[in-house]
Structure 1
């Protein structure tokens, strides 16, 4: 994989200009990976980003190719606003070369990390790091890419169940997600004239490596969370990928400006 972009072209790819294309940030692992591959299964071509772990991104590209899709991976730190304009130019070139298009259809703002720290111990530095990725990054990456989103396209932003219920130690992270939820409603309103919808998917606890893999690996925590969930288990990455793919299907275009919590019924 090159430093900035990589490509996998499958023989079963649609002819240029006919397929749907999704850009999923942070798609080398976890929820982003699951979302990207579920979209590929549903016939959507992929543009994915990764901050590090190029080998994981390459594996996603290869998996998409095995499903008959065209996929490209780009190195991008979504906390660095200054990188967004050159990234958009890279996208333009790839869209033209691979699909003979000037736009793509779906933007999934997934990239991010967590922070578990009491309110009284949260530092300015850690707060700003979250802000740069989860709020500033989502805001200005979407702004930069808006001209490249096709009219009638869709935006999915990732939030968290923690924006609805409270768990000590997540005040900063949850505050960021609350901001993204408000932003999403504004995107739905301001981009609606172009037929672009914007919605939130808010996962509950999911057994991935997010936050050091605590939900996945800590049996005591997992058991407690399962006891608080109507379906009696924590989520898996595939649960969230399926929800996002469903919201990007041709049958859900009338859903707009909404928060969809995918938590199995957490703390009802």
Structure 2
């Protein structure tokens, strides 16, 4: 049976790359988007052009009150597109960056980061557990900034650190259902993160490249195929792990 993967925040960046990578390996995909419906539709079209099935659903990953409605729409999509009542893999990828020193971080900035990167991950996963098939997989996206520190990213990194702890507890509590849970922690990547700062600022790009053993910053193609591989049966025994994918950043 074809595996179905749900990826949050997959209209662009790492989520998009992960969705395309999964499709290339023969999987079907459900992607969520916050506001960029045209970008999401383009990803769906790319996946369908590969001969795979795909659906895009709107979701605000920071608004827990909307998760019940999302689960209802997800059930409808599973029934109408796959004639199924469950999906196999959940990739909690959606997120955003914010830069502020601790002394300058506002409560609004803090809440926005925690709501999407931790609270949203916690309660969306909780909401979707009845729809996640036994023997399935969960991958939560973290950051290399939970291992090495960079001033200005305290709130963001703390939320990602909480997700890493949550992943271990999920692995323990869901083990009886045969569900493996891991965290993937990318290093600096050329995406839209922080307005494309790493991608579009040559000095910052060079700074992170100098910190990386392989001498460059990462690209989406360095992350998406790795997540797709982690979801494959070949990696069924990897569980409760934090896997950094950074090219050797900060070593």
TM-score normalised by the shorter chain: which range applies?
over 0.9
Q: 1:244 aligns with which of 202, 219, 227?
A: 227
Instruction: Could you tell me which runs of 5 or more consecutive residues in structure 1 were left unpaired when the two chains were aligned.
Output: 1-17
Displacement of 1:104 in angstroms is: 0.4
The corresponding residue for 1:46 is 29
Q: Distance in 2 between matches of 1:93 and 1:76?
A: 15
CA deviations 1:72-122 (Å, max 9, x no partner) are 000110001011011101111111122121100000000010111111000
* 1:1-268 correspondence to structure 2 within 5 Å: 18-268=1-251
CA deviations 1:221-254 (Å, max 9, x no partner) are 1111111100000000111101101100110010
**1:62 is paired with a residue of what secondary structure?**
helix
Displacement of 1:191 in angstroms is: 0.4
Q: Distance in 2 between matches of 1:221 and 1:106?
A: 35
Q: Distance in 1 between matches of 2:2 and 2:232?
A: 13
CA deviations 1:111-163 (Å, max 9, x no partner) are 01011111100001110011110111000000000111100000000000000
Q: Distance in 2 between matches of 1:124 and 1:223?
A: 32
Displacement of 1:174 in angstroms is: 0.3
Aligned length: 251
Normalising by structure 2, what TM-score?
0.99
Q: CA-atom RMSD, angstroms?
A: 0.6
Normalising by structure 1, what TM-score?
0.93
